[in-house]
């Protein structure tokens, strides 16, 4: 899943949580850190 890799690089403190959560959560979590 290339999406997981992008999120992992974009958000280092979130990878652990994202890995456990479903890929659907990657979409809402991805734009959040970018806005911050």
Contacting residues for 14 by C-beta, under 8 A, at least 6 apart: 7, 29, 33
For residue 30, the model assigns a pLDDT of 53
Do 27 and 7 touch, CB atoms closer than 8 A?
no
Give ∠ CA 22-8-10 in degrees, rounded to 5.
120
For residue 23, the model assigns a pLDDT of 54
Do 33 and 11 touch, CB atoms closer than 8 A?
yes
| pLDDT one-digit tens code per residue, 1-36 | 455 555 555 555 555 555 555 555 555 555 555 544
User: What residue spans define the domains of the chain?
Assistant: 2-35
Which candidate, 5, 28, 2, places its Cα nearest to that of 15? 5
């Amino acid at each position: 899943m290339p999406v997981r890799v992008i999120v992992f690089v974009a958000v280092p403190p979130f990878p652990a949580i994202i890995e456990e959560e479903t890929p659907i959560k990657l979409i809402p979590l991805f734009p959040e850190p970018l806005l911050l």
